[in-house]
Amino acid sequence: MGKYIIRRVLQMIPALFLVSVAVFLIIHNIPGDPAQIVAGPNATEEQIAALTRQFGFDKPLKIQYVTWLKNAASGDMGYSYINNYPVNDMIKQRVPATLELAVAAAVIVLLISVPLGIFAALKPGSFIDFSSTIFSALSFAVPGFWLAIILIMIFSLKLGWLPPSGRPLFSEQPVEHLKSLIMPAFALAIGVSAKIARYLRSSMLEVLDQDYTRTARSKGLYEKTIIGRHVLPNALIPVITVMGLQVGDLLSGAIIVESVFAWPGIGRLTVQAISWRDYSLLQADVLYIVLAFMVINLITDLAYGFVDPRIRYS
């Protein structure tokens, strides 16, 4: 297990390098001049030229990348062009909000998708199965940002139950903090819940039709024992893969949802960095998100061994 983890971590290094090259080239070809934005609309050409030299934009692109890569390899992601604040500190301030939102959404996903997928598989053609199909179809068709707007219109503007945006500090306003988390978490979780529920249903139906399941029933085992020991562990193998990918969806979907709800996380910071043309901040945001994807994929692979011991032993 230890050697496998070390090998996977070493494989991340060239992948991150290639991603950094692609991200650097794409970001630096975005229309707009950061020096012009920082200087303001009334700046003179001399002021813009001075900022261009200060930021190093007058140097060839490959020189800019090598300089940035050397600093990034030592953990220095540079300073924001807008407020001259360390990029690492800006990201550290936003990470807790994004993690909180992702964890809350993941909990909602599990609470919705696992029972729904299991009951739909155990009673195919029933009302629960039909409801699951309708729920999945609607969830697939509704974009996350549109659902977020609908939630705000209903629960904030019309009913007044939940705050429309923001994130009060838990230490100062714990109730308001939790209330502000509900709508963003649900907006992120609904679409992912539908996918997991459908995959779990399909996987369980396939396992329920296997010979070893019928053999367990012929031995007179209780249905709960059959589902818990034989059906669910085997059905979870493909579902875990999908779950790992959907956690990535939670992170990418958070970019839009955080913007709609003014949630102060990495997603909203990324959108702000794009509008500001803040290259240093945007490069760091994207690389941290890619690194999070890689770590999640590694955790997903390791989870196979806990669900199925045969994988761990092999």
Longest CA pairwise span in the chain (Å): 86
Mean pLDDT of 164-182: 88
DSSP string computed for 87-147: HHHHHHHHHHHHHHHHHHHHHHHHHHHHHHHHHHHHSTTSHHHHHHHHHHHHHHHS-HHHH
276 vs 283: which has the higher pLDDT:
283
Tell me the C-alpha distance between 238 and 93, whole Å.
35
Question: Which of 69, 38, 104, 32 is CA-nearest to residue 265?
Answer: 104
Query: Is the predicted pLDDT of residue 298 greater than 50, yes or no?
Result: yes
Helix, strand, coil percentages (3-state) for the chain, rounded to 5, are 80, 0, 20
162 vs 254: which has the higher pLDDT:
162
How confident is the model at residue 191, as a pLDDT? 82
Adjacent-strand bridge partners of 86: 79
Tell me the C-alpha distance between 48 and 58, whole Å.
11
Tell me the C-alpha distance between 130 and 124, whole Å.
8
How confident is the model at residue 152, as a pLDDT? 92
85 HSE (CA, 13 A, CB side) = 10
Tens digit of each residue's pLDDT (9 = 90 or more) over 58-78: 888 888 888 888 888 888 888
Structural domains of the chain ordered from first start: 21-73 (no CATH), 93-313 (1.10.3720.10)
Decide: residue 170, CB within 10 A, 0-12 exposed, 13-18 middle, 19+ buried.
Answer: middle
Mean pLDDT of 232-248: 75
Angle between helices 266-276 and 279-307 (to 10 degrees): 150
Mean pLDDT taken over the chain? 82
How confident is the model at residue 183, as a pLDDT? 92
How confident is the model at residue 310, as a pLDDT? 57
Using the Cα atoms of residue 164, residue 169, residue 172 and residue 176 in order, give the sign of their dihedral: positive
Tens digit of each residue's pLDDT (9 = 90 or more) over 132-172: 888 888 887 777 778 888 999 999 989 889 998 888 888 88
Query: Is the predicted pLDDT of residue 47 greater than 60, yes or no?
Result: yes
How confident is the model at residue 313, as a pLDDT? 45
Q: Which of 58-62, 101-105, 156-160, 233-237 has the least mean pLDDT?
A: 233-237
Q: Which of 97-106, 126-135, 235-244 has the least mean pLDDT?
A: 235-244
The answer to whether 312 and 296 have CB atoms below 8 angstroms apart is no
Give the global pTM.
Answer: 0.80
The owner of tokens 């007179």 is: 220
Task: Give φ, ψ of 162 to 5 degrees.
Answer: -125, 150
Model confidence at 241, pLDDT cuts 50, 70, 90, reads confident
How confident is the model at residue 247, as a pLDDT? 73
